[in-house]
Amino acid sequence: MALSRSNSDPTLTSGSSSVLKASAGAMGLATSGSQGALTTNLYDKMSKEGKFRNYVAPGVRPAGKSITVPLADSVERDLQSEIYFPVPPTPIKERKFRMSSLLPGEIHVHHGLKTQKLPGEEFRYGMRGFRGSSTEDAMKAGQLFGVAEYKNSVQERVYDSVKREPIGKPHIRGHKIKMLPEGFGNASAEHQDGGMVIFPTDMPQDSEEVRLMYRHTHSNYAPGEQNHRKYTWPEETKDKDFKFGAHAANAVEGAGAKLALNVDVEDDGTYKRTKFVTKVNEDYRNVQHPKLMRKVHCKQGATGPPLPEEHRFGIKSTISDYTAGSCIKGYYSLEEQLPDEDLGRSMKPGRRNVTTETRAFGVPSIRTDIGAPHPSKRSVADLSSYGDEPSAASILNPQRFDCKGISDREFLVRRPRQELEALVKTAPLEGVDFDSLFDEAQKLFDDGLPLVSLDSMLYLQSKRIEKSVGDKMHGL
């Protein structure tokens, strides 16, 4: 049983709908007198060209939707795509939002006003005023006639604006202008080109003195001219081997900074010469311009203003009894300073954990309630803290044999003779008397137990080595 073709198949065969056939015929795209197809899908096109090998049952189409491609692709159809493959029109409800939908000669109107119903031309906004007074009546309210107008004009003559700026006449400035028969202005004696007036090229060049003056006042330097600051260089700079910033070969470190900070000596290190000045000027200089690292003089006398010790500047507030000191230090009673009753505990009945036990609830941050496993057997996923983690100092300064997995605590453990003798014999040491070392180390503990730590034996052995080295150095 053959499968039926899907409705989404874009192929326009001879059995297509009448609407598509009519539209194709209206555009003049029919081929060989019949309404031919315009587009097909990529699967049918490649199948007709024999580019597929059908390994399944014949007549079974693959699932999915194929890409739409032109049936008879040509340059004409590609260049005139708006005729052969027209773009679908914009929906009617969205046309007002597009600028490209304007027809020739149509006035652009905001899309929000296209469907807005506006009132008629006879409609007027605002509120109509009361009848009885018009604009003409308001303008003629202060109009005077006859004797009243004359008296008002006599009273207005005293104002300067009436004298110099009368209504309907130009501004009078008091100039007596005599116009010549030829008109205003005097004719030029000799005709001169306007371009030469704006940009004269025949002007004589400025003298050197004028050029130097403009260089000083306007920084008008000639092209490529070096800026000369008129420095008076010392004679040492004229040497060809002179270098700025070079220091003496026998310079003392820090002497230059010391000389720059010490204002009591000259540049050569000698003390400044004594100068006799008036005491008044010197006192003024010390008060107005204090020395470095000295406090500024408040100019209130040697001991300050003559006021008693309990004097306070300003006026005491008469509105409130609180002072700045009470606001800073606080004026709350002991009961008010105590914490709230519900701080750290619940005060709601039925939600409080009441118990007669003295233990603390919850899991402690450092698990001292359980035994800590050995570090070599502890899992990397164990996030519990047992209080035996190394500190920052021990991480920065690891133990002597930490790289070999031996901690310093192993040297402090007291062990029997046989175990220590096995450890000493396996070490490549020469000249070690184990028996004497064990007996001497056993006396260090003062408990009589036949147990000795490896650290005590190393301590005694180092003392013996130091003594032998000292005897050799002194020739004993």
Show the CA angle centred on residue 453, arms to residues 451 and 459, nearest 5°.
130
Please write the tens of the pLDDT for every residue from 353-372: 667 777 767 788 888 888 88
DSSP letter at 40?
E
Q: Is the pTM of this model over 0.85?
A: no
CB atoms inside a 10 Å sphere around CB 451:
16
Q: Decide if pLDDT at 467 tops 80.
A: yes
Nearest Cα to Cα of residue 83 among 40, 35, 24: 24
Nearest Cα to Cα of residue 385 among 370, 406, 395, 407: 370
**Cα-Cα-Cα-Cα dihedral sign, residues 100, 103, 107, 111:** negative
H-assigned helices in 359-474? 392-396, 409-412, 417-426, 434-442, 454-473
Give the Å distances, CA to CA, from 396 to 375, 390, 393, 399, 403.
19, 10, 5, 10, 13
DSSP letter at 402?
G
Nearest Cα to Cα of residue 23 among 113, 86, 91, 102: 86
As given in the structure block, the two tokens for residue 289 are: 């311009």
Rg (CA), the chain: 56
Worst-scoring range by mean pLDDT, 9-13, 250-254, 299-303, 450-454? 9-13
The end-to-end CA distance of the chain, in Å, is 119
Please write the tens of the pLDDT for every residue from 105-144: 888 888 888 888 888 888 888 877 667 777 888 888 888 8
Show the CA angle centred on residue 292, arms to residues 290 and 295, nearest 5°.
55
For range 334-344, the mean pLDDT: 85
The region that residue 230 occupies, defined by phi over 0 for left and psi between -120 and 50 for alpha, beta otherwise, is left
Nearest Cα to Cα of residue 58 among 4, 110, 2: 2
DSSP 3-state of 258: helix
Please write the tens of the pLDDT for every residue from 152-169: 989 988 898 888 888 888
CB atoms inside a 10 Å sphere around CB 166:
11
For range 13-24, the mean pLDDT: 39
Please write the tens of the pLDDT for every residue from 296-306: 888 887 777 78
Give the Å distances, CA to CA, from 5 to 2, 11, 82.
9, 10, 29
Q: Decide if pLDDT at 170 tops 70.
A: yes
Distance CA(69)–CA(11), nearest Å, equals 9
Distance CA(365)–CA(111), nearest Å, equals 68
As given in the structure block, the two tokens for residue 313 are: 């500047």
What is the CATH class of 407-473? mainly alpha
Name which residue leads in pLDDT, 145 or 354.
145
Check residue 476 and give its pLDDT: 65
Q: Decide if pLDDT at 210 tops 90.
A: yes
Domains of the chain by residue range: 1-99, 407-473
As given in the structure block, the two tokens for residue 443 are: 């006396």
DSSP letter at 271?
B
Confirm if 69 and 40 have CB atoms less than 8 A apart.
yes
Residue 440, classified by CB atoms within 10 Å of its CB into exposed (0-12), middle (13-18) or buried (19+), is middle
Tally of CA atoms within 13 A in the half-sphere of 466 that contains its CB:
6
Q: Torsion angle of alpha carbons 196, 201, 202, 205, nearest 10°? A: 140
Give 319's pLDDT tier (boundaries 50, 70, 90).
confident
Please write the tens of the pLDDT for every residue from 233-247: 888 888 888 887 766
Please write the tens of the pLDDT for every residue from 442-463: 888 888 888 988 888 888 888 8
